[in-house]
Amino acid sequence: MRATAERETGTSELSIAKPPERVGRYLLYPPIAQGGMATVHTARLVGAEGFNRLVAAKRLHSHLADDPEFVAMFHDEARIASRVHHANVVPVLDVVTVEGELILVQEYVHGVPLSHLMKLARTSTTPIPTSIAVAILTGVLAGLHAAHEAKDDDDHPLEIIHRDVSPQNVMVSVDGVPRLLDFGIAKARTSSHHTREGIFKGKLGYMAAEQLKMQPFDRTADVYAAGVVMWELLVNDRVHDGKSELTFVNMVVNGTMPTILEAIEKRGTILDEKRRRELTALAPIVSCAMAVNARDRFATASEMMWAILSATPAASTVEIAEWVKTTGKEYLERRDKTLAANEESLRTTKPAAPKSGVQKTAEPVVMQSGAYPVSPNAHGSIESVPLDARTQVAQRSSGPWPWVVLTLAFAVMGVAVGLRYRPMLESPGNMAGVRDAFDAVPNMAASASVALPAPIDTEDASNAPTPSSGVRAAPPHTRPPVQPITPSRAATAPRATATVSASASASSSAKADCNPPFYFDGSKKVFKLNCL
């Protein structure tokens, strides 16, 4: 049996925060919780242009980083959790594998663990209001159902079973939303790690009879665990409190667990009329969820959720938020101080600047489904990319080369056009015919369609005569008023010859409006768009 709940470290929230540790593109602050498999840190994602984001980082213990079994479990958790998209499930954002480190990056949820809230209620002997308990549990069931219904890229069910639904794995945020987390021992059809025979995983108090008997089980085992959580919320006590493990297991397997009303009566708790009416309506729902036979339970978490909502109203998120801030005030204040100390340590001890520039990727790197692509970062370590990324696009290098290439392209085009039409300008006598041709050409107005450039005949361009010693510019030509017309597609320009006739009629036979392909606006030469 393995318990995955992380316990609060306590010391890091009372002592002066240590400087953050850089791992890839993340700055890890001191741990805020720890368990048998990993420690949990608040961390800061540092991006370009001053972008940063507070996240939670689940860091595999260093002595387990070389253990293939634990590494496979960690990878399975990342893959499974990344397939679940729901407001009541804490999402996985990234996976970091660098220099013997294995870190699972999740969204940071500012709130209080349900286990802590329930402990406060037991200590104060003040039960959690029924409407609050109902709202929290139905939120968890909604997220759990989303996990059960998750599918792979081919739209096939993943058959996810959480196997660790418990108060320790529910975070109630200050915005009033309960969120399910920790898929560390979750089971799915695509899991690469498989539990060895004779080993079962989870918390004893939330295990169904078939799990304890090491028999095959399905999603209804999670429904059973949700029923136990509800039992504890309503009774305001632990389900196995004061019982030995052997006694408790026998009660679960034999179906002799007391109902919520029996347990409350045994505790001697006095109920007012309103709460008794609420618990009476919810008692059969809890009993159904905790049935010994899996076939007698709710078939899905969603079915149980709707049964609860039909029995009694749930509190709003605003009401839950107010209750969490009031009940968990001391916890939240400690966490706020920790976060503030972490930020102060970051401001006073800036991480060392990178020694070299970021290495560029020459070509796109296509990753297989389920792989975690990484790339070297500016700090000489490995920088992770989002979990579901399929392609790592090559980084664009900065520098003048794109502009140089563009300039050369325009220069080549100018030379080609010049060689094509230079023979018409060699003789000063030709300019009179050119001006006559300009007067005969209608003016071009802006239009939605633009003629495509005619292909350049490189063979004719290479055979063009050598330019004469000088070419006189034509006198300024006044541009006539613009008249809107629809330009026609430019025809292929006439082939260049050794001599050009001075007659305007000879040039118009080739194509008057593109011979030459420009006009003069004062002293400025303007090329015609439909002749380019």
Residue among 532, 511, 241, 273 at smallest CA distance from 414:
532
Contact 186, 77 (CB under 8 A): yes
How far is 167 from 312, CA to CA, in rounded Å? 21
DSSP 21: E
Residue tagged 């008057």 (tokens): 512
In sequence order, the 6+-apart residues with CB closer than 8 A to the CB of 335 are 13, 32, 110
How far is 504 from 491, CA to CA, in rounded Å? 19
Which tokens sit at 288? 């159904």
Query: What's the Cα-to-Cα distance from 114 to each of 87, 92, 117, 118, 506, rounded to whole Å?
Result: 17, 20, 5, 6, 93
DSSP 98: E
Pairing of strands 92-98, 52-60: unpaired
How far is 236 from 128, CA to CA, in rounded Å? 7
Catalytic residues: 164
Which tokens sit at 263? 């347990």
Q: Which residues pair with 7 in a beta bridge?
A: 34
Task: Give SS3 for 305.
Answer: helix
How far is 32 from 12, CA to CA, in rounded Å? 7
Residue tagged 């320790």 (tokens): 168
Radius of gyration of the chain (CA): 38
Contact 376, 383 (CB under 8 A): yes
Pairing of strands 26-34, 7-8: antiparallel
Contact 176, 319 (CB under 8 A): yes
Which tokens sit at 35? 């368990």
Amino acid code (one letter) for 87: A
Residue among 361, 375, 461 at smallest CA distance from 418:
461
Residue tagged 């700090």 (tokens): 379
Q: Which residues pair with 107 in a beta bridge?
A: 55
How far is 404 from 410, CA to CA, in rounded Å? 10
Contact 278, 312 (CB under 8 A): yes
